[in-house]
Amino acid sequence: MAELSYREAVAYGIAQEMRRDPRLVMLGEDIAAAGGVFKTTVGLLEEFGPDRVRDTPISEQAIIGAAMGAAMTGIPVIAELMFSDFIAVTWDMIANEIAKTRYMTNGQVTLPLVIRTANGGGVRFGAQHSQSVENWCMMIPGLKVVAPATPTDVVGLMAASVRDPDPVIFFEHKALMATSEEIPDGEIVDTLGTARIRREGTDLTIAALAAMVPRALEAAEMLAADGISAEVIDVRSLVPLDTRTILQSVAKTGRFYTVEENPRVLGWGAELVSIVSHEAFWDLDGPCVRITTPHIPLPAASSLEDLAIPSVQKIYETVKRTIGGAP
Amino acid sequence: MAELSYREAVAYGIAQEMRRDPRLVMLGEDIAAAGGVFKTTVGLLEEFGPDRVRDTPISEQAIIGAAMGAAMTGIPVIAELMFSDFIAVTWDMIANEIAKTRYMTNGQVTLPLVIRTANGGGVRFGAQHSQSVENWCMMIPGLKVVAPATPTDVVGLMAASVRDPDPVIFFEHKALMATSEEIPDGEIVDTLGTARIRREGTDLTIAALAAMVPRALEAAEMLAADGISAEVIDVRSLVPLDTRTILQSVAKTGRFYTVEENPRVLGWGAELVSIVSHEAFWDLDGPCVRITTPHIPLPAASSLEDLAIPSVQKIYETVKRTIGGAP
Amino acid sequence: MPTDTADPRYDYALRPPRLPQPVDESLASAPIDLDVRLEMYRKLHLLRQWSKRAHDLFLQNLVKGTTHLSLGQEAVAAAFSSAMRPDDYTFATYRGHAHSLSRGMDPGEALAELLGRKNGVLGGKGGSMHLTDVTRGMMGSYAIIGAHLCIANGAAWSAQMRGTGQVAVCFFGDGTTNIGAFHEALNMAKIWNLPVVFVCENNLYMEYTPIDLVTAVPRPAADRAPAYGLEPIVVDGNDPDAVYLVAREAIERARRGEGPSLIEAQTYRHGGHSRADPGKYRPQSEVEAWKARDPIPMYHDRLLKLGTPEATLTGIERQVAEVVDAATEFAKNGPEPGLEDLLVNVWADGGAEWRN
Amino acid sequence: MPTDTADPRYDYALRPPRLPQPVDESLASAPIDLDVRLEMYRKLHLLRQWSKRAHDLFLQNLVKGTTHLSLGQEAVAAAFSSAMRPDDYTFATYRGHAHSLSRGMDPGEALAELLGRKNGVLGGKGGSMHLTDVTRGMMGSYAIIGAHLCIANGAAWSAQMRGTGQVAVCFFGDGTTNIGAFHEALNMAKIWNLPVVFVCENNLYMEYTPIDLVTAVPRPAADRAPAYGLEPIVVDGNDPDAVYLVAREAIERARRGEGPSLIEAQTYRHGGHSRADPGKYRPQSEVEAWKARDPIPMYHDRLLKLGTPEATLTGIERQVAEVVDAATEFAKNGPEPGLEDLLVNVWADGGAEWRN
Ligand SMILES: Cc1ncc(C[n+]2csc(CCOP(=O)(O)OP(=O)(O)O)c2C)c(N)n1
Ligand SMILES: Cc1ncc(C[n+]2csc(CCOP(=O)(O)OP(=O)(O)O)c2C)c(N)n1
Ligand SMILES: [Mg+2]
Ligand SMILES: [Mg+2]
């Protein structure tokens, strides 16, 4: 057991996989000599050398294109996009090429690659460096999408993502970088497509992701003090999506809430609600409620950012207000 | 009254606006001398000249960037992206710059621009030239999103989009190009953010968009023959979204269906269902059902494409199967 | 503003024609094996006849969707593929039929793909714009401009890491030189010294717009080469021998570890951009001049002059005709894919499940 | 693989330093009005003192988020803004404070924005990386590499259409020359003959990676100019007079309708890339050599040599100090924005409604 921060867990998880598979390479801006702007790749250059850990120019299309070309010819790759907002600069490569090539070629091409990127807000970086864009990727058929909330999950889901033969977009959350926990000894390998029940409860189900998981858990404690028992599910993997765990939970609790950092419209919760409200319709005792950032670009000022992103208080109050059935 | 095809309606609508506002300009690939690859801009070069109707290089970032820069300095612009799939190539410009600049500058910058693009499938162009990507744009705060289903709506919503001071993404549907209807004489100006009830009904509400509207209407006729009365709403405008019309309809019918051409996950219907299942929860007599393309890239072969995109038959059967309450 | 119909800003066909250079007859004595030359001749014919057949089938309404033929541009594909090793990689655009067939893709499977049949090389899923045959090093046809230059880099990088000596050859059009990905790809190829050869088939037009109207330099690829520390290389793209020599040199350079090249092959498409296009934005005299520089009769003459018996050439042509006929039968007889194919191969497990 | 800690591939600070060129003393006699020179001197000081104050406030934990200072690079902003007309357009990156202040943005409003206050120039919504003041032609600071070059084209195109003679000046870093949008923007600027001046502030590093390691040519901007039919122009970015001359020339060219320019200004940032960065990837000798080429003392000396009384310069410095102190008070006393600001100005109607 070692205490590891979320930030350190990234390099730890990558190192585990690079030791295991000598073909595995990495590329990205400032990831090698500098160890990454979030210090998530510290030590990898030293251990694996400059051929396997590569600094690149500011050329996101070339980076992701190179990852795709290498992966399709037998070299598994981890590519970093410094901020998830920059996915937009290489969106064609991700959404049109990487996601579709296996299907278009009827299975001729396999793409064992992982795109890691720093996602989310809470660090006052403003609208172009704080977005939660996991929904961008979730909606594209052919991409797997993972967003861990804890250091152990970072390591285990990194291993699962690297070992998966399909392209995985791996969202590391900026606001969680400094959080830490004890992680198990030995190899850690998790499974894509599995949600995790972080807290059991009977009155309502809250589905949360990444930085919203600790907030949902805290809100659940406050609700517990009021006699309301919330089950909190860390969705972890948006694609594949573990609907079973969620539907089972809703079958038990009869109420469903999502806590989403993304701006409201078409956040991942919309898909979950559309599933729950269809398949668990007869289980529901009241409307599904989505707690999200308002549908606005994220403001930079601390005071505004704090007002925008769902807070513990807001989660708590929203549940309190609506659990009886009020809209 | 003149009979106009959807294809012709695009140029008709643009010409109406270019006559009205002598500042308005257009740019895009092959739009001027060739009249556009879908022939949607035929005659505009001749009428408005090469300074106002410009052919560009294959440089989507430069095209959309130029549109933004011109718009922010007082020149309203219509930019064409030949296929909506190519939005990906300039996604940074659209999602990170155009959508966010007004908010980030606290209102200093106004962007009167329209991005027109040919959207959707049905023409056997395969996975990279047939996508329905209106959900990509819908989910970005700061973008308005329109997708007309008829020639009259093309003209009217084009006028509304051009006159709107905010950036509008205007989706023209490839499969509707050849459809035609009589359109009213004189200036035609519609209103963004208004859905339209295309068919009244009492048993269920179907929300559809663009090429799915005629299919939904046809399916409604088949259902009527079976004694099931479907109300069909053409959503038309995803942002702003006319939830009022939809919620009122569901209040009346008690059942809600979406017909979406997009691959399933986070299609526009997911947001609608999340709204309806929350705000009309007590009105619903059964689960909301989404009828979508499966969550796959769109295949090229006619037989496969026809199986993928929701057909009249599939709409009809799905409603028949589920209207009683079955999943 | 009244239209002056004689204004070349309104009608590009009124612009001055851009004429081909004359044949360099000295290439007849270039050091190229006769085997190679005959193989190139065979490929020229295969690409021509196959593409004409594809066009015929389109006229019969059997090809749905779109197609982008290379009629007139065959020399580039024929010559490059002949200079490549079987395990080298090809990356092409939607105009990728010629490159696919040249690398050995089965003509029947290729045609069946255009017809949307289950026996198509992609089972009908990809269509005309995405022909791919990984077993033959044909790593794909890419339909959105730019991306595949970056992807080709990745394949070259992979070859470099694996130490296999493989080279990636990436074909694209003149119009593609103005998109951002071109710039990023060329820069990365150079700084990483990648074994990749970028080949711009400059056919003077993007879709319907003349390339010189939208490009800051006269030679869209060659005049950009120095921006990436590369030599400008221009070749007569209608002469298989000229292309072959340049291709061999660039590929061997890359194989020796001496890094990337950027080649501009000047050529012309005889037809429109895609099946929907009559190509009327081009001066008639220009089209005619380039048709007169058709690589096939020119190469036929050269081979005759080099002493190849007419019968050998006719034999090749006949053999190709049989191949194309057989391919046509194969394609036409293919079944349509069905529901059992729809949800297959999104993921490596063969399926399309995104949830449990 | 054991780490050789003395290997420059592992530690870029071990690479050979890239040293500045010596001051060109002949620039003292350049034909530049004394007014202009004194104004540039004032700006140099304003940018320097303001940025240092921003840094102090960051150390006091009053600046949240990130900041990117231009310490050492002030001459570029000071000189360009002095060569511009009030109605010309500036486009800058996240490293945009110097350009904003040089165009006349209120120093207090700029600082308040860094502090996330309601009286910030963007009401706290944009933050350090997005300073914008449309009333002063400061058309924005853009935080994602590349886009704003294309946007600057649009403003220049608009000026061209409106016939106002306005010019757009677009600043960016060396690292930005490797992104696709750079390529697209330069090409379009040339073919449309746009009144735009692209200014690459080459400070030798992207964030933490030396630019020469990732660029195919030695001069990231200048060596690309010919690819767009442009002259390569390199200028000593630490000499306000040198920059001013080049700026005036390029801007007037653009104003006369003679099209775009691309200028590479060689400079260096004294500090790290952003507030989180100690900048240790740079050879110490390099940092020192460039600090010795600090534009401010150099320009101070030049002005003295040109006969400006010391008191005039001290007066300017003192006046700037007062401005910066006042700005600090203004910023610190600003209230934090609140809920009433959150849902404002997504749309032109002032609101944020996406549904009814
Ligand atoms: C990013 C992008 N923009 C536009 C298109 C539409 N398009 C398809 S082919 C083409 C012209 C390409 O011209 P060129 O590169 O010269 O190749 P050619 O077709 O002449 O072989 C265009 C604009 C596209 N496929 N991708
Ligand atoms: C598309 C994109 N990729 C990466 C980044 C992260 N990033 C911010 S600044 C920077 C370095 C930019 O270097 P340069 O252009 O030289 O400008 P400088 O910071 O030196 O002024 C990088 C990589 C970004 N903002 N946008
Ligand atoms: Mg071309
Ligand atoms: Mg720099």
The DSSP annotation for C6-63 comes to T-TTT-GGGSPP-PPPPP-GGGGGSS--HHHHHHHHHHHHHHHHHHHHHHHHHHTT-S
**Is B303 close to C336, i.e. CB distance below 8 A?**
yes
Which of B129, B173, B278, B295 is an active site residue?
B129
* Ligand 4 centroid – CA B67 distance (Å): 27
Among candidate residues D273, A156, A264, the one with its CA nearest the CA of residue B139: A264
D180 and C182 within 8 Å at the Cβ level: the answer is yes
Whose CA is closest to B64, among A127, D180, A195, D284? D180
For residue C209, the one-letter residue type is T
CB of D293 less than 8 A from some CB of C = no
Q: What amino acid occupies position A26?
A: M
- Domains, chain B, in order of start with CATH, read 2-183 (3.40.50.970), 196-322 (3.40.50.920)
> Closest ligand to D204 CA?
4
The answer to whether C198 and C172 are in contact (CB under 8 A) is yes
Q: Separation of C139 CA from ligand 3 center, angstroms?
A: 21
Enumerate helices (H) and strands (E) in chain C, giving the number of each: 11, 6
Asked if CATH classification 3.90.1010.10 holds for the domain at D32-337, the reply, yes or no, is no
| Closest-approaching ligand to the CA atom of D273 | 2
Q: What pLDDT score does A1 carry?
A: 72
Tell me the per-residue pLDDT of A115-164, one tens digit each, with 9 for 90 and over. Answer: 999 999 999 999 999 999 999 999 999 999 999 999 999 999 999 999 99
Residue A249 identity? S
User: CA C336: distance to chain centroid?
Assistant: 28
Domain residue extents for chain C? 32-337
**Chain B contacts of D157, Cβ < 8 Å?**
66, 69-70, 75
Ordered per-residue pLDDT tens for chain C, 356 residues: 445 568 999 999 999 999 999 999 999 999 999 999 999 999 999 999 999 999 999 999 999 999 999 999 999 999 999 999 999 999 999 999 999 999 999 999 999 999 999 999 999 999 999 999 999 999 999 999 999 999 999 999 999 999 999 999 999 999 999 999 999 999 999 999 999 999 999 999 999 999 999 999 999 999 999 999 999 999 999 999 999 999 999 999 999 999 999 999 999 999 999 988 989 999 999 999 999 999 999 999 999 999 999 999 999 999 999 999 999 999 999 999 999 999 999 999 999 999 99
- Chains in contact with D, where contact requires at least 3 CB pairs less than 8 Å apart: A, B, C
pLDDT digits (tens, 9 = 90+) for B165-193: 999 999 999 999 999 999 999 999 999 99
Q: What is the pLDDT of residues A171-194, one digit of tens each?
A: 999 999 999 999 999 999 999 999
Neighbours of B324 (CB within 10 A): 7
Q: Encode chain D in three state secondary structure.
A: CCCCCCCCCCCHHHCCCCCCCCCCHHHHHCCCCHHHHHHHHHHHHHHHHHHHHHHHHHHCCCCCCCCCCCCCCHHHHHHHHHHCCCCCEEEEECCCHHHHHHCCCCHHHHHHHHCCCCCCCCCCCCCHHHCCEHHHCEEEEECCCCHHHHHHHHHHHHHHHHCCCCCEEEEEEHHHHHCHHHHHHHHHHHHCCCCEEEEEEECCECCCCEHHHCCCCCCCCHHHHHHHCCCCEEEECCCHHHHHHHHHHHHHHHHCCCCCEEEEEECCCCCCCCCCCCCCCCCHHHHHHHHCCCHHHHHHHHHHHCCCCHHHHHHHHHHHHHHHHHHHHHHHCCCCCCHHHHCCCCCCCCCCCCEC
Tokens of A170: 């791996």
Token look-up 């298989």 returns C240
**Closest C-alpha to D21, from D210, D292, D272:** D292
Known catalytic membership, residue A278: no
Which residues of chain A neighbour B263 with C-beta distances below 8 Å?
139-141
The pLDDT of residue C5 is 63
Q: What is the dihedral of CA C186, C190, C194, C195, to 10 degrees?
A: 80
* CB-CB under 8 Å, A294 with D127: no
- For residue A131, give the nearest of C197, C113, D143, D221 by alpha carbon: D143
Q: Which two tokens stand for residue D332?
A: 């610190």
ipTM of this predicted structure = 0.98
D288-328 pLDDT tens trace: 999 999 999 999 999 999 999 999 999 999 999 999 999 99
Cα-to-chain-centroid distance, residue A210: 6
Closest chain C C-alpha to A2 CA, distance in angstroms: 34
Angle in degrees, CA B125, B127, B129, rounded to 5: 50
Give the pLDDT confidence of B119-164 residue by residue, as tens digits: 999 999 999 999 999 999 999 999 999 999 999 999 999 999 999 9
How many other C-beta atoms lie within 10 A of the C-beta of residue A46? 18
Laid out side by side, the sheet with A256-263 consists of A196-199, A230-234, A204-208, A256-263, A289-293
d(CA C83, CA B231): 64
Flag whether pLDDT at B325 surpasses 70.
Answer: no
pLDDT at D1: 44
Q: Say if the Cβ atoms of A59 and D146 lie within 8 Å.
A: no
Q: How many whole angstroms separate alpha carbon B129 and alpha carbon A35?
A: 39
Instruction: Identify whether the C-beta of residue C124 lies closer than 8 Å to the C-beta of residue C113.
Output: yes
- Tell whether D297 lies on the interface with C, counting CB pairs under 8 A: no
C-beta atoms surrounding B162 within 10 Å = 24
Q: Considering only alpha carbons, which residue of chain D is nearest residue C221?
A: D227
Facing A62 at nearest CB: one of C134, C184, C355: C184
Residue pair D287/D278 in contact by the 8 Å Cβ criterion:
no
Any bridge partners for residue B239, and if so which? Answer: B145
Contact C300, C313 (CB under 8 A): yes
Q: From ligand 2's centre to the CA of D175, what distance in Å?
A: 6
**Partners of residue D181 in chain B, C-beta under 8 Å:** 61-62, 65, 92
- A100: pLDDT strictly greater than 60: yes
Q: Is residue B24 predicted with pLDDT exceeding 70?
A: yes
**Please, are residues A41 and D128 in contact by the beta-carbon 8 Å criterion?**
no
Please give the number of the atom of ligand 2 that sits closest to the Cα of D273: 19
Nearest chain A residue to B86, by CA: A92
Chain segment C165-224, per-residue pLDDT in tens: 999 999 999 999 999 999 999 999 999 999 999 999 999 999 999 999 999 999 999 999
Cβ atoms within 10 Å, residue A44 = 22
Tell me the two tokens of residue D217.
Answer: 């040519």
CA gap C326, C167 in Å, rounded: 32
CA-closest candidate to residue B284, choices A277, C349, A194, D39: A277
Residues A304, D12: C-beta atoms closer than 8 Å: no
**Structure confidence at residue B327 (pLDDT):** 54
Asked if B239 and D354 come within 8 Å (Cβ–Cβ), the reply is yes
Segment A232-291, tens digit of pLDDT: 999 999 999 999 999 999 999 999 999 999 999 999 999 999 999 999 999 999 999 999
Taking one residue from B and the other from C, the number of pairs with CB-CB distance under 8 angstroms is: 146
Atom of ligand 2 nearest to the CA of A129: 25
Q: In whole angstroms, what is the distance from residue D19 CA to residue B143 CA? A: 47
Query: What are chain A's partners, defined as 3 or more CB pairs within 8 angstroms?
Result: B, C, D
Shortest Cα–Cα distance, B103 to chain A (Å)? 7
- Residue-level pLDDT at A326: 57
Asked whether the predicted pLDDT for residue B198 surpasses 50, the reply is yes
Residue of B nearest to A293 (CA): B141
pLDDT at residue C276, rounded to an integer:
82
Are D215 and A294 an interchain contact pair (Cβ–Cβ within 8 Å)? no
CB-CB under 8 Å, A93 with C150: yes
Confidence at A3, pLDDT banded by 50, 70, 90: very high
Residue in C with minimal Cα distance to D187: C216
Q: What mean pLDDT value characterizes chain B? A: 97
- Look-up of token digits 């895009």: B28
Among A185-189, D248-252, D272-276, whose mean pLDDT is lowest? D272-276
Atom of ligand 2 nearest to the CA of A86: 1
Averaged pLDDT for residues D69-91: 98
pLDDT of C1 reads 44
- Residue closest by Cα to atom 18 of ligand 1: C173
A170 and A117 Cβ atoms separated by less than 8 Å: yes
What is the whole-number distance in angstroms between the Cα of residue C270 and the centre of ligand 3?
Answer: 12
Asked whether the beta carbons of A187 and A16 are under 8 A apart, the reply is: yes
Residues A238 and A138: beta-carbon distance below 8 Å: yes
**Nearest residue CA, atom 9 of ligand 2?**
D207
- Give rounded-to-5 percent helix, strand, coil for chain C: 45, 10, 40
**Cα angle vertex C274, ends C269, C277, to 5°?**
90
Q: How far is the CA of C336 from the centre of ligand 4 (A)?
A: 56
Q: How many CB atoms lie within 10 A of CB B172?
A: 25
**A29 CA from centroid of ligand 2 (Å):** 9
Residues with C-beta less than 6 Å from any ligand 2 atom: A 29, 58, 60, 82, 86, 89; D 95, 143-146, 172-176, 201, 203, 205-207, 273
Angle at D143 between CA D139 and CA D144, to 5 degrees: 115
The identity of residue C314, as a single letter, is T
D80 within 8 A of D288, measured Cβ to Cβ: no
| Dist CA C227 CA C217 (whole Å) | 12
